[in-house]
């Protein structure tokens, strides 16, 4: 299955605030996770897919260590582990 869950992307305001500044990474994750918490319907399909197998998250940022796909991965791992 392939899907583009655009509603799970960080808001434009959050992306612009972050600007891929590594010093803002922890706060970016906190703010992004709050945004994700308000998208339960969109998250359900992604969580279901993650429970069934491998999920590939794509991103276009140059920074492989500080991008929304990595933050989303952390969010998914935390929620899947915690039930």
Give 5's pLDDT tier (boundaries 50, 70, 90).
confident
Report yes or no on 1 lying in a domain.
no
Flag whether 53 is in a domain: yes
Residue 27 lies in a domain: yes
**pLDDT confidence of residue 3:** 80
Q: Mean pLDDT over all residues of the chain? A: 92
Per-residue pLDDT at 83: 65
Predicted pLDDT at 11: 97
47 belongs to a structural domain: yes
44, pLDDT greater than 70? yes
Q: Is residue 65 part of a domain?
A: yes
| 24 found inside a domain | yes
Which residues constitute the domain of residue 77? Answer: 6-82
First to last CA, the chain: 23
Taking the CA atoms of 58, 59, 65 and 68 in sequence, report the sign of the dihedral they define.
Answer: negative
């Amino acid at each position: 299955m392939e899907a583009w869950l655009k509603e799970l992307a960080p808001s434009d305001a959050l992306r612009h605030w972050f600007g891929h500044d590594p010093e803002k990474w922890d706060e970016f994750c906190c703010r992004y996770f709050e945004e994700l918490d308000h998208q339960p319907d969109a998250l359900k399909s992604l969580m279901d897919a993650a429970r069934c197998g491998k999920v590939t998250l794509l991103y276009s940022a140059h920074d492989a260590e500080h991008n929304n796909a990595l933050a989303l991965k952390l969010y998914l791992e935390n929620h899947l582990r915690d039930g």
